[in-house]
């Protein structure tokens, strides 16, 4: 029997509105085109309407039963860290119906800078922040920023409008993350996403 | 109760236990969506209704029967408790939450509690069987391979039975050396604190107000566990029509942060 231990899992965490869903929507076509079978789990999508909209947005790429919501009882970090059992149960449902599945993208509910993914839930953990919430986020050294396998700095297009200095973000990220990589994306213009897809492929799919 | 059993009881009723119970509100979210709970006292009364209408006459009856069946090595008896509890639980989301938590409990223990000897069955013949296992680090012994618990977990994984939480808890507690009444109290405490915590995260209740309600519910917990832990399975009933209606309306609610 296949289950959550047989499929690669990628967690996307980060503050509310930083662009996690946007990033998932840009990653799925790339992974799909590269020949991978992909599933998507979104935590805390709040309403059935949101769930339907999400499913609709992947309708030309993914079967509807591989796009699912998981409720986390108003505790988004618990769902990805202390008790990922309901996310794992959903992955098991995916793999039972689609044993050929290669990778599941798990979007956390929007949370604070301390939210990290349980390593038994996500093989690869990306933390998505946005430049619009301030260019000082990396140097606050939140565990999400420091421990993620990949830090994604999204909405680079907005930097000039909110007086955010991308060089400051880049330098601070290097300081607090050491050797670990940081990617810069603009989901509106579809820029920088290839690097993120490559990182996923290299880290969890080629292995 | 010996120390090992007490520690296991605390482990099983601790909100830290990673079996997804924090995602279930069993209708509380919908009561709050519909502005039906106004005060902490009102919340306490509502939960007392759950105790007297569901947790006692349905969950505790199933748990007690599962406990007795496990002690007798009667796997079919455990399945019967599962089947009847599922049938008595009307809202689909309540059944789903209960099934997921029970299955996750069994999976978790199979992953974590292996190899070591522990106090569990009170049957000395059973205990003699297990003297070969070494160490005493774990609470439940080799859950993955031995006895009714292992067979039940396997049946659950294979989809041959539902693995409802109170039933799984009854089997696990029996293995850990808790008697049926103690096991029922573990379930009642975990259920009540789960409901209170759900309400606290969604509504605006103070921490002292919630703790007052919790301690105020102790007598009702004792009463229902006392009354139902040794009841016959055929006497099972569930009567909480409003909670059932809330559970069903929750499926199509405008706001859903909880699975039930
Ligand atoms: N300008 C700009 N807007 C973006 C970018 N990425 C996302 N957005 C917008 O930012 C808003 C939030 O994006 P989402 O992808 O929903 O953010 P999220 O992290 O999934 O949000 P939650 O799930 O609610 O935590 C939306 O209006 C997006 O269109 C970007 O790179 N540039
Ligand atoms: Mg989102």
Q: Which two tokens stand for residue B211?
A: 């703790």
Give the pLDDT confidence of B164-202 residue by residue, as tens digits. Answer: 999 999 999 999 999 999 999 999 999 999 999 999 999
B50, B213 contact by CB (below 8 A) = no
Place of tokens 């800078």: A113
Burial class (CB in 10 A: 0-12, 13-18, 19+), A34: middle
CA distance A109 to chain B (A): 10
**Of A82, A138, A93, A87, nearest to A113 (Cα)?**
A138
A138, A169 contact by CB (below 8 A) = yes
Termini Cα distance of chain A: 21
Domain residues of chain B, as ranges? 3-12+20-250
Question: How high is the pLDDT of residue B118?
Answer: 36
| Proportion of chain A in helix, strand, coil states, percent, rounded to 5 | 45, 20, 40
The ipTM, to two decimals, is 0.91
Average pLDDT, consecutive stretches of 10 residues, N- to C-terminus, chain A (207 residues): 86 97 97 97 85 89 95 95 97 96 97 96 98 96 98 98 98 97 98 98 89
Question: How high is the pLDDT of residue A60?
Answer: 94
List of residues 6+ apart from B45 with CB closer than 8 A:
none
Mean pLDDT taken over chain B: 90
List of residues 6+ apart from B147 with CB closer than 8 A:
B73, B121, B126, B175
Give the span between the Cα atoms of B160 and B157, in whole angstroms.
Answer: 8
Q: Where does the pLDDT of residue B5 fall: very low under 50, low under 70, confident under 90, or very high at 90 and above? A: very high
**Of A62, A55, A57, nearest to A38 (Cα)?**
A62
pTM of the model: 0.92
Domain A4-205, CATH homologous superfamily name and number: P-loop containing nucleotide triphosphate hydrolases (3.40.50.300)
Tell me how far the alpha carbon of residue A68 lies from the centroid of ligand 2, in angstroms: 13
Give the span between the Cα atoms of B135 and B158, in whole angstroms.
Answer: 31
Query: B3-12+20-250 maps to which CATH number?
Result: 1.10.4190.10
CA distance B129 to chain A (A): 31
Q: Is A48 on the interface with B (CB under 8 A)?
A: yes
Give the span between the Cα atoms of B9 and B114, in whole angstroms.
Answer: 18
Q: Using a 6 Å CB cutoff, which residues line ligand 1?
A: A 14, 16-22, 110, 154-155, 157-158, 186-188
- Measured CA to CA in angstroms, residue B49 lies from A104, B79, B164, B234, B241 at distances of 41, 27, 21, 22, 11
Question: How high is the pLDDT of residue B1?
Answer: 86
Give the pLDDT confidence of B108-123 residue by residue, as tens digits. Answer: 999 998 633 233 444 4
Give the span between the Cα atoms of B23 and A108, in whole angstroms.
Answer: 14
Tell me how far the alpha carbon of residue A154 lies from the centroid of ligand 2, in angstroms: 13
């Amino acid at each position: 029997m296949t289950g959550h231990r047989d499929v690669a899992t990628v967690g996307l965490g980060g503050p509310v509105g930083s662009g996690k869903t946007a990033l998932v929507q840009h990653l799925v076509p790339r992974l799909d085109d590269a020949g991978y079978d992909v599933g998507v789990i979104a935590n805390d999508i709040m309403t059935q309407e949101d769930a339907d909209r999400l499913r609709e947005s992947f309708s030309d790429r993914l079967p509807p039963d591989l796009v699912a919501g998981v409720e986390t009882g108003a505790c988004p970090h618990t769902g990805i860290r202390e008790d990922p059992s309901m996310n794992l149960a959903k992955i098991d449902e995916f793999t039972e119906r689609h044993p050929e599945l290669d990778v599941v993208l798990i979007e956390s509910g929007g949370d604070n800078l301390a939210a990290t993914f349980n390593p038994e839930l996500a093989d690869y953990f990306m933390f998505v922040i946005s430049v619009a919430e301030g260019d000082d986020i990396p140097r606050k050294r939140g565990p999400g920023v420091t421990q993620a396998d990949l830090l994604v700095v999204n909405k680079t297009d907005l930097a000039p409008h909110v007086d955010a200095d991308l060089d400051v973000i880049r330098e601070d990220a290097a300081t607090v993350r050491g050797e670990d990589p940081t990617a810069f994306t603009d989901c509106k213009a579809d820029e920088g996403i290839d690097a993120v897809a490559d990182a996923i492929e290299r880290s969890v799919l080629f292995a | 109760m010996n120390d090992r059993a007490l520690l296991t009881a605390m482990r099983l009723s601790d909100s830290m236990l990673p079996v997804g119970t924090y995602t279930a509100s069993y209708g509380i979210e919908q009561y709050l969506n519909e502005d039906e709970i106004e005060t902490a006292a009102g919340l306490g009364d509502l939960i007392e209704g759950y105790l007297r209408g569901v947790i006692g006459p349905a969950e505790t009856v199933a748990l007690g029967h599962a406990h007795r069946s496990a002690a007798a090595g009667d796997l079919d008896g455990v399945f019967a408790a599962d089947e009847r509890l599922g049938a008595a639980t009307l809202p689909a989301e309540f059944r789903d939450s209960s099934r997921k938590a029970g299955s996750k409990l069994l999976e978790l223990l199979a992953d974590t509690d292996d190899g070591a000897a522990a106090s569990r069955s009170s049957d000395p013949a059973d205990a003699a069987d297990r003297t070969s296992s070494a160490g005493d680090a774990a609470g439940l012994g080799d859950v993955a391979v031995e006895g009714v618990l292992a067979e039940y977990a396997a049946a659950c994984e294979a989809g041959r039975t539902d693995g409802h939480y109170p039933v799984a808890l009854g089997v696990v507690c029996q293995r850990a050396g808790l008697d049926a009444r103690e096991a029922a109290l573990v379930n009642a405490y975990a259920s009540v604190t789960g409901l209170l915590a759900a309400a606290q995260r969604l509504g605006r209740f103070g921490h002292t107000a919630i703790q007052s309600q919790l301690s105020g519910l102790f007598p009702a917990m004792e009463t229902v566990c006392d009354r139902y832990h040794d009841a016959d399975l055929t006497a099972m009933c569930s009567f909480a029509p409003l909670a059932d209606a809330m559970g069903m309306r929750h499926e199509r609610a405008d706001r859903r942060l909880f699975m039930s």
